[in-house]
A and B are shown apart, each in its own frame.
Chain A
Amino acid sequence: MKNKIYQTFDEALADVPDGSTFMSPGFSGVGVPRNLLAALHRQGAKNLTGISNNCGSLDEKVDVGTLIEAGQVKMMYAAFTSPTHPSQISPFVRMFNEGTIDAETVPQGTLAERIRAAASGIGAFYTPASVGTELAEGKEHREINGRTYVLEYPLHADYALIRAWRADEFGNLQFRLAQRNFNPIMAMAARITVVEIEDEIVPVGELDPDKIHVPGVYVNRLVKIPPDGIFD
């Protein structure tokens, strides 16, 4: 069995080239791969394209906004390209309005399904979300059984940075509660999937095959978060 365990986050992301596309999961601060994002920030790759639910929160924690603020990201695909309240000005919002970063606003279900489509070998799909809104303008529409849909394409990535609860040494993954969110579909959609583990990495055979959320065949690199790492 190939060794997938890396000792540090920096080693696990040392090879990310400039211009890569990366996926960063998490929802409301839960299930965010903060240690890997911090490592990618230190690594310094530039001209990145990010795929994430939002473009960084306003708290002090490391998230995709950390890379955006550092100028490492040129393009974002996200369900939130402005904050939930107009008074909140994140680094992304400032840069987006200045034109130093580009972004595509994607309805959250469409974002998730575009990621799943990439993972599943689906060429494109029709969804009813956004029909009749400005986000559907210019997209192919089709009426199917009396309902109108718009055509949406998959979102692929070079790297997925993943936060999981537990893994075995082969990379089979388990998530805990709402930590799951975008993590499984992103883990399956990227060419190289790198995972930070909160609880433990157990020997192969110790996880119940019926209770695995992402099979290890999708996982390339594992790092256990050290006691002084970021858990929240």
Chain B
Amino acid sequence: MAEEKPKLQRQAMCDRLAMEFQDDWIVNLGVGMPTLCSNYVDPTKDLIFHSENGVIGYGPLAPAGEEDRHLVNAGGQNVVPIPGMAIVHHADSFALIRGGMVDVTVMGAYEVAENGDFANWRIPNRKGGGIGGAMDLAACAKQVFIAMEHTTRDGKPRMLKRCALPITAPGVVTLVATDLGLFKVTPNGFELREHAPGWNAEEIQELTEAELIIPSDLKEFRFRD
């Protein structure tokens, strides 16, 4: 049974996305799994972490006992200030986002489609949605990376031809890390760039609704050194 094989851990998925961050990028990490991206530190790159509550340039999670109750990231986690940090109010924080200053936002998702649409704010049979800043970020960040499990708990694909759930933004996703691999969104659909160890392209395709492009230079998933 393919499903019983080990899959990638969440930290490995987020490490892989963080490896794509470039020097001097302004990075916005969504609540939940994406915050793990900040655990991957590349000393050759200076990153500026922006949080939608108006914190520009925050540091790592605060060690126990050293929390400042006035300083949290978008997920409500206490972070430490680092030299050069700046604070703005909420309207200016989103001016920064809509103004195109954010180089990449990393978010979780329920579904991603091969046309770059994704859905992460509303589930069926429930009124309302947990939208937060996701629509502003998705529409205006230069790139949108997604970190999510490849299938639902029931084993249904999340990598789709078209999203079934209400979308967060159309055609914006550029890169997806799942527990089965790394996928680039191209004009022709999902390209499998890297596969999880022990998984081949056919097995990953079986768990994917959209048709995957399998390049001749398909590689094994890259872990942190």
Contact = CB atoms under 8 A, between A and B. Distances in A.
Given A30-B69, A129-B140, A132-B170, A79 B133 contact: yes
Interface string B132-153: 1111100110000000000000
Sorting the interface of chain A by its residue count into under 10, 10 to 19, 20 to 34 or 35 or more gives 35 or more
Given A132-B169, A185-B89, A109 B128 contact: no
Interface stretch (A2-10, A62-70, A100-108, A219-227): A100-108
B89 A177 contact: no
Nearest to B172: A132
Nearest to B170: A132
Interface string B168-185: 111100000000000000
B212 interface: no
Interface stretch (B38-46, B93-101, B197-205, B217-225): B93-101
Given A96-B128, A113-B94, A135-B135, A180 B122 contact: no
Interface stretch (B2-10, B13-21, B51-59, B187-195): B51-59
Given A129-B98, A133-B168, A107 B136 contact: yes
Nearest to A116: B91
Given A109-B97, A132-B167, A184-B89, A80 B132 contact: yes
A60 to B, nearest CB: 16
Nearest to B55: A178
B70 A127 contact: no
Interface string B107-120: 00000000000000
A177 B70 CA distance: 6
B6 to A, nearest CB: 26
A82 B53 contact: no
A40 interface: no
B61 interface: no
Contacts of A109: 52, 94, 97-98, 133, 135-136
8 contacts: A82-B127, A86-B126, A108-B90, A109-B136, A110-B135, A132-B169, A178-B87, A181-B89
